[in-house]
Amino acid sequence: MSKEESDGSTGESSPKMSNGARVFWVFIVLIISGLIGFLSFLWLGKQGIDSTTGAVVEIVKAFKPEEVVQTFDEWRTLEASGTEGNILEVATATSTERFTRKTNLEMFGKTLPLGTTVSEISVPATYRYYIDLNDDWFVTTDGSRLLVLAPKIRPSLPVAFDTAKVQKKSQAGWARWDGDENMEELERTITSRLAVRASDDSSLKKIREASREPVAKFVQSWLLSREAWGDAKFEEISVMFEGEDAALSSMPPVLRHLEDPAEVAP
């Protein structure tokens, strides 16, 4: 009996993996796992980017400042179609105005020492101001702020006054009896004098300040009709009038979205 037979060997041996082979296959498995993880990360990232991009596109579709501005002319034409004269009344002011007329008797270019006749009228007047919607408007944007250059403000003429509350006083000179005549002359000038006061620079300056908010609310109604007022849309409105000596971009906001009464909690 041979030595192999005595040892119980069959002559066949099972193959054994060397340590180098094991390391190689472990390395391959790690590479494949890492590749699968990396590709999964890229796929999830792409899904997130596609989702975000879609949301941004939807926001852009819903709010296009340039398109909003371009539609203003159409909107105000429709809005004003039922208004007499297409006017937007922006301010009303009341004031008791006093006018005086003094006369002296003159002869040959010299004033005679016969006293002075003084007539006074006190008139409770109501001034109304408007802008013509058919006049030119300029509307542009500065981020979330809408800049509006509105037409010039005009007074409604003639100025209305309460004739029942007019007060008159006339005092003739010591040697004169023309008080009534002097008063009549004064009364004939009341309408023109009120018109002058309605149009003077100091009056218009005050009226412009009071008129910015009404015009801003008029424009705000337009923005609401375009679903362009609120978060992530137009949130401020600045108003300037034709004839003002200032830069439109420097005008402070008149209305802010956060100041909208509808947005304030009770």
> Can you tell me the mean pLDDT for 159-176?
76
110 and 123 fall within a common domain: yes
58 and 81 fall within a common domain: no
97 and 198 fall within a common domain: yes
**Which of 2-11, 53-62, 143-152 shows the lowest mean pLDDT across its residues?**
53-62
Which range marks the domain in which residue 27 is found?
A: 18-62
Distance, in Å, from the CA atom of 187 to the CA atom of 100, rounded to the nearest integer, reads 10
Which residues make Cβ contacts (< 8 Å) with residue 111, sequence separation at least 6? 104, 105
User: How many residues are there in the chain?
Assistant: 266
Confidence at 213, pLDDT banded by 50, 70, 90: very high
234 and 102 fall within a common domain: yes
Task: Tell me how many domains the chain contains.
Answer: 2
**pLDDT at residue 136 greater than cutoff 80:** yes
Longest dimension (CA), the chain: 175
118 and 58 fall within a common domain: no
Closest C-alpha to 170, from 122, 123, 119, 99: 119
pLDDT tens, position by position, 46-103? 555 444 334 333 433 456 666 767 777 666 665 555 455 678 899 999 999 999 887 6
141 and 167 fall within a common domain: yes
pTM, rounded to two decimals = 0.65
40 and 88 fall within a common domain: no
147 and 221 fall within a common domain: yes
What percent of the chain has pLDDT above 70? Answer: 58
Is residue 1, in this structure, part of any structural domain at all?
no
